[in-house]
């Protein structure tokens, strides 16, 4: 390009520290343009800002120093936590998580609008960072590649992703200020406005800087070059109608450049002080995300030797749990799907994490200093109690451990283990637990099940079924009935139905009968890890002594415990939920649904089978194969299904809040117009048995809750089996 008399000389090239992520693109540009003549498309780096390179050095040095300061400040707080075992196992899977869940923001795609918005913003930040790096490399290294065809391509994709970024900013502004997104304002702060408005100003000012340069150097002389910067070119054509003099454009270019650079580095500086730090923390947290089942709670190792059970002080969390607090972006997605919050009960997962984060910021530095000086845990440093003052007891007890918050969190925070860890402290260290829940734990300890006052026995369900085989180690399957399946009157027909269907399939199986005992799941979810470990170890020994290899369960909670948590105690068994077994038997022809049931049904996904263990297809396959069944899904279904309200030990607690969770879910089921609500969990059936009459008091036309096995039993055997009646 011919030099303009009004343009300063090209700044002196310096070999500096700009070799980085853009070196590949710069090398490609250098190769493509090395043999081209000097009058091919090109531009002057920094144009009329001869001191620009030095300004960038100063801004960059300040930013790097600020980022280092922020990391040191954060890491000093994380370091007060306990070690996190196993975070460097299965590195390939962790790297995939970091890329897919962290950088590609896979979870945000569950909200399509937000997914597109985040992709626009994030991709523009990445690409425009590469654009800026290439400009710096071209100005500050021996490479000279921003000319020729590559310069035109460079101009095109720079403008393209600048425009994409503005689209993302526009979507964010609309959602924040015009759409009725209440969760966005649950914890709104000044920084939220600075982040989005600041990014918009950075992108807009970048277009104005480029437009001013084009108006001076290319608009008249080389319009064919300028058109490749299509966004800035369009803006330049619009500004050209005002007839600005060249000296005015040069002054405007200089002012816009300084504004743009100052805003850009200032915006990046927000990373240290605002939730913008999730740009880095989200991929890191995705890397540290557990690679085992989300339904597995951590085992307290050597529990007999522990001085403090669970988490009663902020430093009792692991460093990974403390890291998660900083990853939180206050988006409110977790709270929006929390069944307790939806029902007006005292739990907001977002606010719980934010309260813990604020507490860490308040007491963390003093704890770190105390630990450095004395070497002890520093529990006496905090002037307030973590549980009671910061996090209220009723907040912890309201959690259903359904995992909806964990599933929806875009930065991979695991709320449930954090809540259960604090419950463990309440129960085992403080003995603070609701009276009804305490009664259930006492019954488990004394009688081997949580159902106080039941008149049933473990073998009551066998009445009327003829010979029921007892498992002796020679059969293929152990049919695990469970406490709810054998000791709750409403669930006896479900147990009978599963038994008859498994028997009809020709499978080799047996039951334990009186030898069954609680597997400990309610104890673990309620926070009594000590009782859980005792029950788990006893049952693992029983299973091994009887040579149990495969287990069919009624209850998704038993299914999850056997499958995901018993391996912690060397209890490795193949575990199948009855819906999986029955669906498989129907597909192979071992079971044939030949009688039409003629029912309009809606299906409720239990949390511990669906969301936590990913079993969605098997129950629906059964419904598809049962003739006469017409399925209408609830609005919240599959992975977005709402908890019935019984999880996390809430089956044995009094609910505190505006509504009961099972009433909310029953209302949704009734809203489908279905005759029957079908589930796969005895707890869910019990909650619907209570919730449906509360929403629909008139018995005529009332929806009836059934387990999917009861529905299939009617179709296979052609019998009318009503809830509460024993199968013949």
Q: What are the domain boundaries of the chain?
A: 23-31+90-286, 292-432, 438-717
pLDDT of residue 271: 92
Mean pLDDT of 557-579: 97
Write down the pLDDT at residue 145. 82
Q: Which residues contact 80 (CB under 8 A, 6 or more apart)?
A: 314, 315, 319, 322, 364, 367, 368, 371, 378
pLDDT at 45: 67
The number of CA neighbours under 13 Å toward the Cβ of 624 is 9
Quickly state the pLDDT bin for 490 (edges 50, 70, 90). very high
Strand partners, 552: 479, 576
- Span 628-635, mean pLDDT? 95
Q: Using 50, 70 and 90 to split pLDDT, how confident is the model at 316?
A: very high
How many Å apart are CA 107 and CA 123, to the nearest integer? Answer: 16
Nearest-angstrom CA–CA distance, 255 and 249: 10
Task: Using the predicted structure, report yes or no on whether residue 267 has a pLDDT greater than 80.
Answer: yes
Query: Does residue 377 or residue 206 have the better pLDDT?
Result: 206
pLDDT at 4: 33
In this predicted model, what pLDDT tens digit does every residue of 445-475 receive, in sequence order? Answer: 999 999 988 999 999 999 999 999 999 999 9
User: Could you tell me the pLDDT band of residue 18, with boundaries at 50, 70 and 90?
Assistant: very low
The reported pLDDT for the residue numbered 13 is 33
pLDDT, the chain, mean: 89
- Among the residue ranges 289-293, 392-396, 674-678, the one predicted with the least confidence is 289-293
Mean pLDDT (whole number) for 350-357: 96
Please check whether residue 511 is in contact with residue 478, taking contact to mean a CB–CB distance below 8 angstroms.
yes
Q: If you average pLDDT over residues 359-383, what whole number do you get?
A: 83
User: Comparing 104-108, 257-261, 520-524, which segment has the lowest mean pLDDT?
Assistant: 104-108
Residue pair 451/488 in contact (Cβ under 8 Å)? The answer is yes
Check pLDDT > 90 for residue 647: yes
- What average pLDDT does this structure show over 104-131? 88
Q: Which residue did the predictor score with more confidence, 8 or 627?
A: 627
Name the CATH code of domain 292-432 (choices 1.10.3470, 1.10.1060, 1.10.3210, 3.40.1130): 1.10.1060
CA atoms within 13 A on the CB side of 108: 21
Question: Residue 27's pLDDT is what?
Answer: 46
Say whether 418 sits in a helix, a strand or coil: helix
- Give the predicted TM-score (pTM) of the model: 0.88
Measured CA distances, 668 to 75, 187, 400, 497, 703 (Å): 45, 28, 18, 27, 12
Q: What is the pLDDT of residue 307?
A: 83
């Amino acid at each position: 390009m011919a030099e303009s008399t009004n343009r300063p000389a090209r700044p002196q090239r310096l070999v500096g520290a700009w070799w980085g992520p853009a070196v590949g693109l710069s090398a490609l540009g250098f190769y493509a343009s090395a043999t081209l003549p000097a009058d091919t498309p090109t531009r002057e780096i920094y144009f009329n800002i001869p001191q620009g390179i030095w300004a960038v050095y100063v801004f960059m040095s300040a930013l790097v120093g600020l980022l280092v300061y922020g990391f040191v400040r954060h890491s000093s707080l994380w370091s007060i936590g306990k070690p996190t075992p196993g975070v460097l196992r299965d590195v390939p899977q962790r790297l995939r998580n970091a890329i897919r869940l962290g950088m590609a923001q896979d979870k945000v795609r569950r909200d399509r609008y937000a997914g597109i918005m985040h992709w626009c913003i994030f991709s523009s930040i990445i690409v425009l960072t590469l654009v800026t790096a290439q400009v710096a490399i071209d100005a500050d290294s021996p490479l000279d590649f921003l000319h020729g065809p590559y310069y035109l391509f460079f101009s095109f994709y720079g403008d393209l992703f600048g425009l994409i970024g503005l689209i993302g900013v526009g979507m964010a502004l609309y959602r924040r200020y015009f759409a009725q997104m209440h969760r966005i304002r649950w914890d709104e702060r000044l920084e939220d406005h600075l982040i989005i408005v600041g990014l918009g100003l950075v992108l807009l000012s970048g277009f104005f800087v480029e437009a001013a340069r084009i108006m001076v150097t290319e608009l008249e002389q080389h319009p064919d070059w300028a058109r490749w910067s299509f966004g800035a070119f369009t803006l330049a054509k619009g500004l050209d109608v005002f007839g600005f003099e060249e000296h005015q454009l040069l002054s405007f270019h200089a002012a816009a450049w300084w504004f743009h650079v100052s805003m850009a580095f200032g915006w990046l500086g927000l990373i240290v002080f605002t939730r913008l730090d999730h740009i880095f923390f989200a991929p890191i947290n995705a890397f540290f995300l557990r690679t085992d089942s989300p339904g597995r709670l951590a085992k307290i190792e050597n529990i007999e030797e522990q001085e403090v059970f669970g988490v009663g002080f902020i430093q009792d969390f692991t460093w990974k749990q403390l890291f998660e607090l900083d990853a939180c972006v206050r988006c409110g997605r977790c709270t929006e799907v929390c069944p307790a919050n939806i029902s007006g009960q005292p739990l907001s997962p977002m606010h719980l994490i934010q309260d813990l984060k604020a507490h860490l910021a308040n007491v963390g530095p003093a704890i770190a200093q105390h630990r450095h000086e004395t070497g002890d845990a520093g529990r006496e440093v905090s002037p307030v109690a973590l549980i009671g003052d910061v996090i209220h007891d009723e907040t912890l007890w309201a959690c259903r451990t359904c995992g909806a918050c964990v599933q929806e969190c875009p930065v991979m925070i695991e709320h449930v283990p954090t809540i259960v860890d604090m419950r463990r402290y309440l129960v085992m260290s403080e003995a603070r637990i609701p009276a009804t829940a305490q009664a259930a734990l006492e019954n488990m300890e004394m009688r081997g099940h949580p159902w106080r006052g039941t008149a049933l026995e473990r073998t009551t369900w066998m009445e009327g079924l003829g010979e029921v085989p007892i498992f002796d180690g020679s059969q293929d399957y152990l049919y695990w009935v469970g406490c709810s399946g054998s000791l709750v009157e409403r669930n006896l027909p479900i147990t009978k139905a599963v038994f008859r269907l498994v028997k009809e399939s020709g499978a080799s199986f047996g039951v334990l009968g009186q030898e069954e005992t609680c597997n400990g799941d309610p104890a673990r979810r309620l926070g009594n890890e000590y009782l859980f470990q005792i029950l788990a170890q006893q049952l693992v020994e029983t299973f091994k002594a009887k040579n149990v290899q495969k287990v069919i369960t009624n209850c998704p909670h038993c299914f999850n415990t056997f499958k995901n948590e018993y391996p912690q105690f060397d209890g490795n068994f193949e575990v199948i939920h009855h819906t999986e077994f029955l669906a498989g038997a129907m597909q192979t022809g071992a079971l044939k649904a030949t009688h039409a049931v003629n029912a309009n049904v809606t299906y409720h996904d239990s949390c511990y089978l669906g969301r936590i263990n990913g079993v969605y297809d098997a129950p629906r396959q059964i419904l598809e194969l049962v003739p006469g069944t017409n399925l209408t899904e609830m609005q919240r279904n599959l992975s977005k299904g709402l908890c019935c309200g019984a999880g996390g030990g809430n089956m044995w607690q009094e609910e505190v809040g505006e509504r009961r969770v099972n009433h909310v879910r029953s209302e949704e089921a009734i809203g489908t117009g279905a005759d029957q609500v079908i589930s796969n969990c005895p707890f869910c059936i019990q909650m619907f048995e209570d919730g449906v009459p509360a929403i629909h008091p008139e018995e005529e036309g009332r929806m009836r809750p059934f387990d999917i096995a009861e529905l299939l039993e009617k179709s296979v055997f052609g019998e009318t089996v009503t809830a509460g009646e024993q199968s013949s």
